[in-house]
């Protein structure tokens, strides 16, 4: 059975688009232009995306609205690592993998009638299992943790879980709708924020499925869906005014936090680049040039 599976993998995969992964004991997890091995066979225009996790940047928070590609991306990373560690080529332009001992996932949302557990209780039990069994060499993948309870409690649980995972030094992928979680990157420089790009034109959403750096607020995404669903225009208008007031208040608070933690963030970004150079295979001349560029970028505040 195993031999047949390997034979099928080799004979049916587009060999020219699959590459041999490299392995590292303590280096980064880096996948350039990775693809979902199943969905790319169903969609000829599948958009590839990359991932980079290291000791200096061990948590990636992925943001974006529903249907933007977050869950597919999380599954894609897991499948690439599994394929690599069972000895297969992987759907990526390039990949280097730090061998993981276990992959923990917290994805999906459903009640468990058999165990009399609500969606939130199921989330908490699965998260507790992860916290109790994770090691520094594990990969943790969480999708929309905390969405099944009140917004304040859900945000508090998601934030505290992120802080706990950061202390454990495990590699973590965390997908969320909670835009305030992006503030973690202003306090913890080893947190990287990514978002899936979405264009909104004439109240229509154009999903690009392309991962980009930094947080991005997609304005009134929920209101657009509510309007499509047929809520009265008066209700939509009141909701839009309330959202505007909340957004302005949060934007001012986040700006203050960014200014406060910016110097620390700059120093940590320098350390992150130095760690990457440590594992680089470049010659001395190239490393010397990279260090000079790093110095100039730091002095110019362009990191």
Identify the CATH number of the domain in which residue 125 sits: 3.40.50.300
**Helix or strand run (H / E) with residue 130:** helix 119-133
- SS3 for 141? strand
Last residue of a domain, one of 165, 188, 218: 218
Using the 3D structure, point to which of 185, 218, 251 is the last residue of a domain: 218
Distance (Å, rounded) from C-alpha 1 to C-alpha 8?
10
Residue 186 shares a structural domain with residue 206: yes
Tokens (6 digits) for 158:
């998601």
Structural domain count, the chain: 2
- Residue 270: phi and psi, rounded to 5, are -60, -45
Say how far apart CA 141 and CA 251 lie, in whole Å: 28
Do both 129 and 257 map to the same domain? no
Q: Are residues 161 and 214 in the same domain?
A: yes
CA distances from 249 to 14, 183, 245, 296 (A): 51, 15, 6, 36
Q: What is the structure's pLDDT at 213? A: 87
pTM of model > 0.85: no
Which of 183, 173, 244 shows the shortest CA–CA distance to 215? 183
Give yes or no: residues 229 and 172 share one domain.
no
Domain that holds residue 38: 2-218
pLDDT at 80: 95
Reading the chain (303 residues) residue by residue, the pLDDT tens digits are 555 555 555 555 555 689 999 998 878 899 999 999 999 888 888 899 999 998 888 999 998 877 788 899 999 999 999 999 999 999 999 999 999 999 999 887 655 555 556 777 888 888 899 989 998 899 999 988 877 677 778 888 889 988 988 888 889 999 988 888 888 888 888 899 998 887 777 766 677 888 888 887 766 777 776 776 778 888 888 888 887 777 777 667 767 766 777 777 778 778 877 877 777 777 888 888 888 888 888 887 776
Nearest Cα residue to 216 out of 248, 189, 177, 245: 177
Our separate counts of H helices and E strands in the chain read 8, 10
Q: Which two tokens stand for residue 285?
A: 């001349």
Do residues 7 and 148 share a domain?
yes
CA dist list (Å): 24 to 27, 96, 118, 153, 287: 5, 7, 41, 39, 20
Say yes or no: 214 and 236 in one domain.
Answer: no
Structure letter (DSSP) for residue 181? G
Cα(60)–Cα(166) distance, integer angstroms: 11
Domain end, chosen from 218, 251, 286, is at 218
Verify that 133 and 14 share a domain, yes or no. Answer: yes
Q: How far lies 95's CA from each of 26, 89, 92, 202, in Å? A: 15, 10, 7, 39
Burial 101-133 (b: 16+ CB within 10 A, else e): eebbbbeeeeeeeeeeeeebebbbebbeebeee
């Amino acid at each position: 059975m195993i031999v047949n599976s390997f034979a099928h993998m080799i004979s049916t995969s587009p060999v020219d688009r699959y590459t041999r992964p490299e392995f590292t004991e303590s280096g980064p997890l880096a996948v350039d232009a990775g693809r979902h091995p199943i969905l790319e066979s169903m969609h000829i225009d599948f958009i590839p995306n990359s991932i980079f996790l290291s000791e200096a940047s061990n948590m990636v928070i992925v943001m974006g609205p529903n249907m933007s590609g977050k869950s597919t991306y999380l599954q894609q990373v897991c499948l690439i690592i599994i394929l690599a560690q069972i000895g297969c080529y992987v759907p990526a332009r390039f990949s280097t993998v730090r061998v993981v001992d276990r992959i923990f996932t917290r994805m999906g949302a459903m009640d468990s009638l058999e165990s009399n557990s609500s969606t939130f209780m199921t989330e908490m039990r699965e998260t507790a299992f992860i916290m109790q069994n994770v090691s520094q060499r594990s990969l943790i993948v969480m999708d929309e943790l905390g969405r099944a309870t009140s917004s304040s409690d859900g945000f508090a649980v998601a934030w505290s879980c992120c802080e706990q995972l950061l202390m454990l030094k495990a590699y973590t992928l965390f997908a969320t709708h909670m835009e305030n979680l992006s503030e973690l990157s202003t306090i913890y420089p080893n947190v990287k924020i990514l978002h899936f790009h979405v264009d909104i034109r004439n109240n229509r959403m154009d999903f690009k499925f392309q991962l980009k750096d930094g947080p991005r607020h997609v304005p009134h995404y929920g209101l657009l869906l509510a309007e499509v669903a047929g809520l009265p225009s008066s209700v939509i208008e009141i909701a839009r005014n309330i959202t505007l007031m909340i957004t302005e208040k949060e934007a001012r608070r986040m700006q203050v936090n960014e200014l406060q933690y910016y110097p620390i963030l700059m120093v940590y970004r320098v350390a992150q680049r130095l760690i990457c150079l440590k594992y680089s295979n470049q010659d001395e001349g190239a490393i010397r040039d990279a260090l000079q560029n790093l110095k100039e970028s730091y002095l110019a505040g362009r990191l």
